[in-house]
Amino acid sequence: MITFNIAPRTLFSKLQPANAKTLERARSFLASREASGGTVLRSALSTAYKYHQSDRLLNLVVFSDGMTEQDSRDQLMAAAKQRPAGVRIFCVGVGNEVNRPLMRQLATDAGGLVAFLSRGDDFDRQAKAFRRKLTKPAMTDVKIAFDGGDIGEVEPRVIPNLYHGTPVRIYGRYGAAEGAKAKLTADINGRPFTQTIDLKLPAKDNDNPEIERMWAWRRIQRLAKSVDIPAQRDAAIAEIVRLGEAYSIVTEHTSFIVLENDAEYKRWRVERRNALRVQRDLAARKRLTDQLETMRSEALAALGPVDPRQRPAERPQPRRAPMPSISLPSFGGPVGPIILAAVGAMGLVELRRRRKRRNQQ
């Protein structure tokens, strides 16, 4: 256990079992701490690395309710990359002043996951759920390779570990709708796992325009990490601006402007680059609204008293949602993004199969 503000303070000189004696010492240690100083996490991480042992995995759980000093951000991310092999970092942010983007990036880049707590949350339930995920990851060392379909520009480039109840979403672009396959490889409880899936990609799909914006947003998030690197700054900013303008995304380098009417846009010579995109998005939203309204009407028609003179076949029946499967969903278009949301499903299905085989043996 390590507490920190501008400097770390340790309780134990080595790893200890979590028994009644050590837990009581930990409670007393925490009760004696007072909030003061800033939030310098880098030195606390460097101290925690000293507890790593080569023959076991070390999970570091960072609790913080403050903002990390801005000038130490780059040093903190560098320290996370320099962690010893077999060390994963998990982050828990408490309250509304915590630096959420930084903690999320720190946990993701270091093979862990992040959670945030606010006043009114059930702390015990949150802690138990977090511990289950921490101690039993569904998949680690996850990799996906694509064959066919002219698939590229995949985000994120490095796939994080998969934890129970925490989906991993992958976005990309494809140029051909036929013959695409995805090969998933990972480690499940120390055993290699491999599965190949045939992808069903539509030649054109205008019903999900938000998917491509999600892809662009993930790409912008990755590029934003390169802005602080002098050699990559200009190229990263130029790409962020291009994506922000193309997909109507507000970033640190792009913004929205709203004028009253078309005449004002012409007066100030503002180019409306997203006029067609907005029309397409509105049309897709209307189609979805109409579908939901139809489903509501059918569901309401099936409620209440039924005329006994009606034959069973004439009685309105609500639509039933199809049973879920592990086949990958189809999104995007010939140059639009795809999302592989079945990664978690495949891992959980495989875990159930192996548990069933063990029970039969």
Kindly report, residue by residue over 217-255, the tens digit of the pLDDT: 999 989 988 887 788 899 999 999 999 988 889 999 998
Q: Among all chains, which residue has been given the structure tokens 């503000």?
A: 5
Domain check: are 146 and 290 in the same one?
yes
Domain check: are 355 and 213 in the same one?
yes
* Residue 62 belongs to some domain of the structure: yes
CA distance 60 to 74: 19
Last-in-domain residue among 135, 162, 196: 135
Domain of 82, in residue numbers? 2-135
- In this predicted structure, which of 77-86, 142-151, 294-303, 324-333 has the lowest mean pLDDT? 324-333
Average pLDDT over residues 106-125: 87
Q: How far is CA 224 from CA 138, 146, 309, in A?
A: 29, 26, 66
Instruction: Give the model's confidence band at 314: pLDDT under 50 very low, under 70 low, under 90 confident, else very high.
Output: low
Last-in-domain residue among 86, 119, 135: 135
* Residue 317 belongs to some domain of the structure: no
Domain check: are 113 and 254 in the same one?
no
pLDDT of residue 231: 86
CA distance 89 to 127: 16
In the structure, how many helices (H) and strands (E) does the chain have?
Answer: 10, 12
Instruction: Give the model's confidence band at 328: pLDDT under 50 very low, under 70 low, under 90 confident, else very high.
Output: very low
pLDDT of residue 307: 67
Q: Is the pLDDT of residue 337 over 80?
A: no
Our count of domains for the chain comes to: 2
* Residue 89 belongs to some domain of the structure: yes
DSSP for 198-219, written as a single string? E----S---S-THHHHHHHHHH
- In this predicted structure, which of 223-227, 276-280, 343-347 has the lowest mean pLDDT? 343-347
Q: Is the pLDDT of residue 338 over 50?
A: no
* Residue 87 belongs to some domain of the structure: yes
Last-in-domain residue among 135, 151, 182: 135
- Higher local confidence (pLDDT), 329 or 205: 205
Q: Are 345 and 324 in contact (CB under 8 A)?
A: yes
Q: Is the pLDDT of residue 193 over 50?
A: yes
pLDDT of residue 64: 83
Domain check: are 112 and 146 in the same one?
no
Q: Which alpha helices (H) appear in 206-325, and where do they start and end?
A: 210-224, 233-247, 262-267, 275-301
pLDDT of residue 109: 86
Q: Among all chains, which residue has been given the structure tokens 């340790």?
A: 10
Average pLDDT over residues 107-132: 87
CA distance 340 to 215: 12
- pTM for this entry: 0.68
Percent share of the chain, pLDDT over 90? 31
What's the token pair of residue 194? 């491999």
Domain check: are 188 and 113 in the same one?
no
Domain check: are 105 and 155 in the same one?
no
Residues in contact with 187: Cβ distance below 8 Å, sequence separation at least 6, in sequence order:
139, 140, 141, 193
The model's pLDDT over 85-102, given as tens digits with 9 standing for 90+, comes to 889 999 998 888 888 888
Domain check: are 152 and 31 in the same one?
no
Domain check: are 128 and 202 in the same one?
no
